[in-house]
Amino acid sequence: MTDNNIFGQTDIGRVRDNNEDAFVAEELLHSGFILGCVIDGVGGYEGGEVAAAMTMDCIKTNLFSVTADDVIPRMVGTLKLANDEIYNRKQLDTSLEKMACVLTLVLADVENNKFYYAHVGDTRLYLLRDKVLVKITQDHSFVGFLEDSGRLSESEAMSHPKRNEVNQALGFSSTASLKDDFIETGESPFLPGDTLLMCSDGLTDRIDKDQLTVILTQYTSLRAATAALVDAANDAGGHDNITVVLLKNNTKPLIHEAAKPLSKTAIFPAETNEAATPMQPLANSNNNVAIVKKQVKTAKNRGWVVFLLVVVVLLSGVLAWMFWQVNELQKRDRTIAPIYENPWILPSPNLQDTIKTPLRDTTFYKDTIPEKIKPNGTRTIE
């Protein structure tokens, strides 16, 4: 349990006489994974504690040497083994016949930016990314189903009289009689800066999602944030045991330096005679956001101007081509088909052309003066 990547804390609360919760928060040095788990015991004064302790021991023993090739199968196999151990123990000891437990288990691979989880019951897993908190798991309870499906609001679910009744838990039945999917599993990217929150219902029955977000974003230390969450649940009544585990990917994101800026914009410092320094990422402020939006808008406007210029040039070219085509057609018509005002007036043939052609009727010549053709085919001089 360290404050570097993971930290956990459990508290008895303000009402209960004993603590049936347990947790695991360890870095598995042999495998490179980080193990986080919150376990909430069910079944009376002693039974809940026993079931939680048995499950915690099973997890530590069987997940110590997990590898990236079999993460989820190993998690599921471990929880099924814990389920059978609890169920068989109940058969041997009638004083523990109601014991069971619910849990949320996480294995995080920080180096490869990924996490895996397995879940049974109404403990919860949340992901905090960019100051937004997202609920990952679903509550295996009637009230949880109504909330997850939108039939109940969060506040209505928190005050519902059956909010603590669960449909699934380790130890209710033997593994052989359970459906294969009674354990909810999943995997997701775990990016630098992300934080995972695992908690028992002693926290979420008292503190809503908005309050959780405020507390988680207020503290940079996992230890301080965990303590603040526990204190908030106690201040709200502390009606149940409270357990919190925080797991954070605190690696720094990769920042690529710009080799050569495409253009000078407001986000770059003014030119000076000093040596250039690597470009730093923008701070998360409203001013910088406004600047970036303005740059995007300017780039869009510039794109429209270029587009309109291209359209104008293309239209001008088309019109010029059409004008040239019309001129060419007019020239060709004037050359090929000359027009005479009087259809009866034809060019007069000369003597040489007439000698070479057969005589037809009678033809009279007078130099090259035009002749008029009579209806009987005789040409006369005008």
pLDDT at 375: 53
186, 191, 195, 196: CA torsion to nearest 10: 10
pLDDT at 340 over 50: no
Q: What is the mean pLDDT of residues 320-339?
A: 65
Cα angle, residue 100 at apex, residues 226 and 196 outer, rounded to 5°:
25
pLDDT at 295: 55
pLDDT at 255: 60
pLDDT at 334: 53
Q: What is the mean pLDDT of residues 335-350?
A: 46
Total count of residues recorded for the chain: 382
Q: Is the pTM of this model over 0.85?
A: no
- Alpha carbons 79 and 83: distance in angstroms, whole number: 6
pLDDT in tens, 281-297: 434 445 544 554 555 45
Phi, psi at residue 282, to the nearest 5°?
-65, 140
pLDDT in tens, 63-108: 988 888 899 999 999 999 999 999 999 999 988 999 999 999 999 9
- Alpha carbons 224 and 242: distance in angstroms, whole number: 15
Q: What is the mean pLDDT of residues 176-192?
A: 93
Q: What is the mean pLDDT of residues 153-164?
A: 88
Residue 29 token pair: 């040095």
DSSP H helix total and E strand total for the chain: 9, 12
pLDDT in tens, 20-78: 999 999 999 888 999 999 999 997 667 899 999 999 999 999 998 888 889 999 999 99
b/e code 303-332 from CB counts within 10 Å (16+ = b):
eeeeeeeeeeeeeeeeeeeeeeeeeeeeee
Q: What is the mean pLDDT of residues 163-178?
A: 90
